[in-house]
Amino acid sequence: MPVLIVGSIALDTVKTPAEEHADLLGGSASYASVAASFFTSAQLVGIVGSDFPQAHVDYFQSRQIDLEGLQKVAGESFRWSGEYMTDMNVRETRSVALNVFEHFTPHLPESYRQTPFVLLANIAPALQSHVLDQMARPRFVVVDTMDLWITIAKPDLLALLARVDLLILNDSEAKLLTDETNLIRAAEAIRGYGPQYVAIKKGEHGCLLFGDPAKQEFFSCPAFPLANLHDPTGAGDCFAGGLIGQLAREDTPEITFEQLKRAVVSGSVVASFNVEAFSLERLRTLEPKEVEDRYLEFGRISRF
């Protein structure tokens, strides 16, 4: 089954203590749709300017990503620039130019409106809701968000959460959204807002998946041990894309917690590869066999 993915498409400039690169392919929907493409076919909804390199479009197509929902308009593409400190967990945004993204209204082609699996990658929650408004009843909706929207658009975010199945966010965002310092209590509070499932990402500490506590639905996914992170940009988007891609690949009428566990591991696998090089470079050479092998590795490092 295909997955529909909406989010940002950007040209990034990224600086780490070791390197700096400009005009990299970036944005939440770019990372997520390429990540998903290792598991199923993706339908990409986003916007780019007239400066957007054809090479990036060609790359999406080489990954079998459907671009009917990609709007190309006059003007400059969304640009983001960020810098990572010696501790690669600390990032500073150096500049943001929304450009054509400022007036983006996601419009779904007719052929996307019945797609059963939906990832609302990280963009403003009002836009994420607008996508759902255009869809028939999807089977499973995953939403990713960030601290910015919790701070400036919390009512929009809460309205959206009542309509989704799984919320992905990181640990500090979970605490910010719920005013809880304990992640177990934070996840319970979030489930009270609507989503049946919550995935809390903890960077180098892995990820926690929460479902119904009465059914003991709890999963702790390890982080893959990496001695060198080259560029953490897009790790969260790859996680979300790999997760929804794996769900769509299994394509069952009902989504079980066991399936969601496998999906969380699949997302973690793609994210762990993505941080091994700048931008999407590592994913360009990634082979299905490597994805399968690392999935097994995730099992090996947590089994006892």
Q: Which of 61, 114, 182, 252 touches its own copies (CB under 8 A)?
A: 182
| Residue 221 lies near its own copies (rule: CB under 8 A) | yes
Q: Which of 219, 277, 281, 291 touches its own copies (CB under 8 A)?
A: 219
| Residue 15 lies near its own copies (rule: CB under 8 A) | no
Q: Which of 202, 250, 276, 291 touches its own copies (CB under 8 A)?
A: 202
The pattern of x and - marking residues 285 through 304 that bind its own copies according to CB under 8 A reads -------------xxxxxxx
| Residue 206 lies near its own copies (rule: CB under 8 A) | yes
Q: Which of 54, 87, 253, 289 touches its own copies (CB under 8 A)?
A: 87
Q: Which is nearer to its own copies, 147 or 258 (CB)?
A: 258
| Residue 139 lies near its own copies (rule: CB under 8 A) | no
Cβ distance 25 to 48 under 8 Å?
Answer: no
Q: Interacting stretch for its own copies, rule CB under 8 A, among 74-82, 106-114, 116-124, 223-231?
A: 223-231
Q: Which of 15, 21, 91, 261 touches its own copies (CB under 8 A)?
A: 261
Minimum CB–partner distance for residue 172 and its own copies (Å)? 12
| Residue 256 lies near its own copies (rule: CB under 8 A) | no
Q: Which residue has the tokens 């591991």?
A: 265
Q: Which is nearer to its own copies, 130 or 294 (CB)?
A: 294
| Residue 222 lies near its own copies (rule: CB under 8 A) | yes
| 255: nearest Cα among 185, 165, 129 | 165
| Residue 53 lies near its own copies (rule: CB under 8 A) | no
Minimum CB–partner distance for residue 148 and its own copies (Å)? 23
**Chain contacts with its own copies (rule: CB under 8 A):** 86-88, 181-185, 188, 202, 204-206, 208, 216, 218-223, 225-229, 258, 261-262, 264-265, 298-304
